[in-house]
Structure 1
Amino acid sequence: MSNNNGQSNNGFPQRGNTGAGSMAFAADGESTAVLRPISLDSFAAPMSADEIRSIERAPRRRLVWPWVLAAIIAMLAAVAGGAYWFFQSHALPGVTLWGNSVVGKSQSQIADDIDAAVAKSSVTVSYNGNTAKITLKDLGLSVDSQAIANEVLSAKRDDAWWQRYAFWITKDVSTEPANPAAADSSELNSRLSISEVKPVDAQVTLNADKNGFETVAGQQGQGADPEPVAKAAVALVETLGANESKTMNVELKSTDPAVTDKIAEQAKATLDKLVKNPVTLKIGDHTIATLDANALAAASTVNANENAKLATGETRDGYVVFSADKLQQYYENSIKPTFNTKREDREVIVNNNDEEIKVLKEGHDGISITDGADANIGTDGATLLANGGGSLDVQGSIDAMKTKTTKRHVVVDLSDNKVYAYENGKLIRTMSMSAGQGNDRKTGECTGQDLCTPTGDFTIWLKYESQDMSGNLTLSDGSTESWDVKGVGYVNYFSHTGCAIHRIATKTAMNDAQVAALGNTSHGCVGIGWDQAEWFYNWAVYGTSVHVQV
């Protein structure tokens, strides 16, 4: 019997009751929940506005892989950019120094490695039971580690961009750290107790005119041969300290000087080029000085080791080393004192062809240098010398000199029997003369083939204050004319056939008026009075133009 709660009289639920929340018991006493039937009508009900807004605000699921790809690309770009930035100041991939990898090292690191290898590169040498450790420094050799490191850093920089960073494309910098042939044997001889006759270096010196250079031959010596030891030390440096030397025996030989005759000749050639194409100092476009042979001699030395480390302020062109300090000192002591702020004009003599034949006064510009503008003449000049020439601009002002010309010209008139001296077109002196015997006294014409004064335009090319004149001449009629006159004064040759204007060749003094009355008596020369000849000799300088006319 059951009651209204779906329970039997014994208190257990009836199995057939399916009301909501009812429980049924299986035969094993476990209860089983019976759910109320679900109506599908509830799913068809429209959503409220709040429910719609809630759905719109819900996060949408997005694709992830494009962002991952972008991150990878950005990371690769950052790595590439970092590598590019890094290798701007470090050795590029594939670069080696003497076969040793230096990839990724900075210039200072490479230079430090070289310096460390140089310090470590001692060679054990032996001679007659004496041993010693010898370094490059002991052999008088130095290594310019900074220059070599710079060469390493520059390797592959000119290649295509993709080749620069390709590690499989290699570039070995093989510049010899030092020149073994330039090794000095002095320390080697001393350490091994070898009696030495020192060699004498060849020299490059100024020539006698101090406008160029000449060489003085060197002399051989006798002692230990340093070159094999230097080669062994260089080989150790090129391992960058990875190897150590074995003991080597030293041999004796006739030793060449460090600066051989050949090296001196090459150094002379370098200096000769700078004499022909000198470094000039300029204010604007105006040259105020040149670094001539004297300046080069004062500021340069010859160093047989082309790879020697330069001191501060030094530059090099081959075997010639220029010192900025010495050049500055030469400028201060020998060039700058020649500058004058006040202009002095130049004065010259020219002939009738406007050719400059004598300088009466060199003159100079008025030069004012801005304070401190010439403080780096030595440094900048040494750089230009090492590069083979050029010009150096200096701040300042110029009052340029002018050139005053005086034109001198001589006219010999065979019909007037006069010699006329002109200066700047103005007649300044008239002198009587005696011409060649063959010239007609009135017309000046050459009446025969012999003993005539030639006509035309000439210049005075040879002068003697006094000369003995003698000669023999066969005339056109077969006769012979001879002369032998001692001490002819103030001779001015104008023709290359031997004709000159000179003091008339008489044994006693003859003045201008006496010459006028004499007639033509010479063998082709022009004779003038003793009272005129010295003045004319001093006035008619080399190159003075002479016009002879009838």
Structure 2
Amino acid sequence: MNENNEMNRAGAFADGEATAVFAPLDMSAFATPAFEEGGRSASRRRKRHAVWPWILLAVVVVLGAFVGGGIWFFQSHALPGVTLWGHSVTGSSYERVVSRIDAAVDDATVTVSYDGKTAKVSLKDLGLSVDSESIARQVMDAKRDEAWWQRYAFWNTADITVEPANAKAAVSDTLSQKLSIDEVKATDASLRLNEDGTGFDVVSGQQGQGADPAPVAKAAIAAVETLGSAPAKTVTVELKAIDPSVTDDIAAKAKATLDGLANKPVDIKIGDHTIATLGAQALAASTRIDANENGKLADNETRNGYVVFDADKLQKYYDDSVKPNLQSGREDREVIVNGVGEELKVLKEGHDGVTVAAGADSSVGADAVQAFAKGGGSVTVEGTVDPMKTKSTKRTVVIDLSDHTVTAYENGKAIMKFNAGIGRGNDPTTGECTGELCTPTYCDPNTYDNCTENGDFKIWLKYQSQNMSGNLTLSDGSNETWDAKNVGFVNYFSKTGCAIHRVATQTAMNNSQLVKGGGLWSHGCVGIGWDVAQQFYEWALMGTTVHVQA
């Protein structure tokens, strides 16, 4: 039994042979450490080699975190190497730069003296301000368009040197008051709309007499540029002729800016349809000239050179002068055109049917100001448009030389037909130009033709009454002259002197008497009856097309 138990514990193969089972042998117990030269074990060497990659990885991670953190930090702070007026602002936030500039402006008071009297004068006293936010934006933007490795290199420098304010724009009012100086105030140059309201004229400024503010302003500005590290110098004030802050030259530059914008007005659109335009009058109502081109602006203001746009004033102009003219009901435009489609007269301007969505135009002023400051553009509002259509009435005149008639057409329909006398050189039956004085081509504009020319023309000159005279040299050397007084209702259509006019007779000769010309001839002109000449004159607008046929 004991023998069987031992076999069961040891296990058995399928052939019944018993096999002993031993516990695993731990060879490390018998191992002898291998030593390197110097007595260090191989296992210790392997452990040390396994540690170095982790150390290197940790260094890379730390450096990456440092570089990444630095890049992240400088996204919102001034880059390395950036200075403002020679003072380092590297690592400064936008808010910090604004604060430093504002503090320097507040501290930049100048001690002034005149005739034994002294006073303290600030930039504000001189009518000057500093746009610290604009300067700070320049600081933040410095170097950001350079390659990344130059962007963060501290040895690659960029100094922001923009002038805090324009000393020439300083005013002397407060300075003179503090020093008890009597002055004659200078008058600024200004702009006004020209006569047709499409542009601007300069109104010249006038010099004054008093304390010169420019040296005081320069001292205050120099103090600002130290960012508070040095006080302003004391200035002794002098009396002299004082130029206005807005000189004629500054006004002329502002005029050029505004005239350019008036020629590229801002359109107000609903979709693709222009419903109104802001031009010269809108600019006149919403702009001012600021001689201190770096001065601080109000929240509703935007600058383009010396011109400052006020969004609130432009919105008021739109609300008062533009919006009331927008009508929801469409009215079609009506015009008179000639035979080639050129407009001769507008009978009715017409307008689109426009409905602006509630509140959709509340920011027209602000949006249009931004467009003007950029040189023009458009503003889009929500709403609907029923576009107007244009109704055209086409007016043409046909002179038939063989039929001796003048016919007035509107849209291809004859509305008036008159008998007429024609040129003496035209054949009375065929209308063709014949005879020794006939010139089949166009003549010198200063030479009268003896025929009424064939071709297409436009009425280009009109007189209610005119004395007509001329002189023609015949082939036999003799001259033919004429001198007709008070020829009425003249409509010139050819540059060689041909016109449609009241027949040049001393007594009235009416339309019914001019059948086949009534036996009357002219030196190239077309004569119509006294009773119809005025009616035709008033109907035939300047530019009306005239077709002359044989």
1:283 maps to which of 256, 259, 270: 270
SS where residue 352 of structure 1 aligns?
A: coil
Q: Amino acid of the residue matched to residue 190 of structure 1?
A: Q
- The answer to whether 1:368 aligns with 2:367 is no
- Written as runs of structure 1 = structure 2, the 5 A alignment for 1:288-437 is 288-437=275-424
Measure the CA separation in 2 of the matches of 1:226 and 1:364. 54
Q: Which digits, 9 at most, give the CA deviation of each residue in 1:68-107, with x for residues without a partner?
A: 4433332332222222222111111111110111111111
- Written as runs of structure 1 = structure 2, the 5 A alignment for 1:389-538 is 389-448=376-435, 449=437, 451-464=450-463, 466-476=464-474, 477-486=477-486, 488-516=487-515, 518-538=518-538
Q: TM-score, normalised by structure 2?
A: 0.86
1:83 maps to which of 70, 90, 94: 70
With 278-287 and 138-147 compared, the bigger mean Cα shift is at 278-287
Q: Amino acid of the residue matched to residue 485 of structure 1?
A: K
Measure the CA separation in 2 of the matches of 1:223 and 1:524. 75
With 393-402 and 234-243 compared, the bigger mean Cα shift is at 393-402
The structural deviation recorded for 1:121 is: 0.3
Q: Which digits, 9 at most, give the CA deviation of each residue in 1:416-449, with x for residues without a partner?
A: 1110111111222210112233333333233431
Do the aligned residues in 2 keep the contact of 1:439 with 1:520 (CA within 8 Å)? no
Q: Which digits, 9 at most, give the CA deviation of each residue in 1:359-381, with x for residues without a partner?
A: 22221111221222111111111
Q: Amino acid of the residue matched to residue 129 of structure 2?
A: S
The structural deviation recorded for 1:481 is: 1.2
Report runs of 4+ in structure 1 exceeding 6 Å deviation. 47-55
Identity %: 59
Q: TM-score, normalised by structure 1?
A: 0.86
Which residue number in structure 2 is paired with residue 42 of structure 1?
A: none
Measure the CA separation in 1 of the matches of 2:470 and 2:278. 54
Q: Which has the greater radius of gyration?
A: 1
Q: Which digits, 9 at most, give the CA deviation of each residue in 1:269-305, with x for residues without a partner?
A: 1112112222222222222222211111111111111
Measured at CA, do residues 443 and 70 of structure 1 come closer, stay the same or move farther in structure 2, by a change above 3 Å? closer
The structural deviation recorded for 1:53 is: 13
CA RMSD in angstroms comes to 2.2
Which residue number in structure 2 is paired with residue 179 of structure 1?
A: 166
Q: Amino acid of the residue matched to residue 392 of structure 2?
A: T
Which residue number in structure 2 is paired with residue 113 of structure 1?
A: 100
Measure the CA separation in 1 of the matches of 2:200 and 2:25. 106
The structural deviation recorded for 1:495 is: 1.7
Do the aligned residues in 2 keep the contact of 1:441 with 1:519 (CA within 8 Å)? no
Which residue number in structure 2 is paired with residue 33 of structure 1?
A: none
The structural deviation recorded for 1:50 is: 11
Q: Amino acid of the residue matched to residue 258 of structure 1?
A: S
Do the aligned residues in 2 keep the contact of 1:436 with 1:520 (CA within 8 Å)? no
SS where residue 146 of structure 1 aligns?
A: helix
The structural deviation recorded for 1:149 is: 0.6
Q: Which digits, 9 at most, give the CA deviation of each residue in 1:477-519, with x for residues without a partner?
A: 4224131412x33221112233221222334333210122622
Do the aligned residues in 1 keep the contact of 2:484 with 2:504 (CA within 8 Å)? no
Measure the CA separation in 2 of the matches of 1:202 and 1:478. 68
Q: How many residues align?
A: 498
Measure the CA separation in 2 of the matches of 1:87 and 1:68. 29
Which residue number in structure 1 is paired with residue 10 of structure 2?
A: none
Measured at CA, do residues 108 and 518 of structure 1 come closer, stay the same or move farther in structure 2, by a change above 3 Å? same
With 388-397 and 466-475 compared, the bigger mean Cα shift is at 466-475
Which residue number in structure 1 is paired with residue 202 of structure 2?
A: 215
Q: Which digits, 9 at most, give the CA deviation of each residue in 1:524-550, with x for residues without a partner?
A: 322211221222122211111011122
Q: Amino acid of the residue matched to residue 221 of structure 1?
A: G
Do the aligned residues in 1 keep the contact of 2:215 with 2:235 (CA within 8 Å)? no
Measure the CA separation in 2 of the matches of 1:441 and 1:224. 89
Do the aligned residues in 1 keep the contact of 2:219 with 2:233 (CA within 8 Å)? no
Return 5+ residue gaps in structure 1 as ranges: 1-46
Measure the CA separation in 2 of the matches of 1:451 and 1:51. 139
Which residue number in structure 1 is paired with residue 539 of structure 2?
A: 539
Measure the CA separation in 1 of the matches of 2:501 and 2:325. 41
Return 5+ residue gaps in structure 2 as ranges: 1-21, 31-42, 438-448
Q: Amino acid of the residue matched to residue 466 of structure 2?
A: D
Measure the CA separation in 2 of the matches of 1:101 and 1:511. 96
Measure the CA separation in 1 of the matches of 2:112 and 2:191. 34
Measure the CA separation in 1 of the matches of 2:290 and 2:141. 26
The structural deviation recorded for 1:181 is: 1.2
Q: Which digits, 9 at most, give the CA deviation of each residue in 1:383-419, with x for residues without a partner?
A: 1110111122222222112222211111111111110
Measure the CA separation in 1 of the matches of 2:29 and 2:332. 103
Do the aligned residues in 1 keep the contact of 2:466 with 2:490 (CA within 8 Å)? no
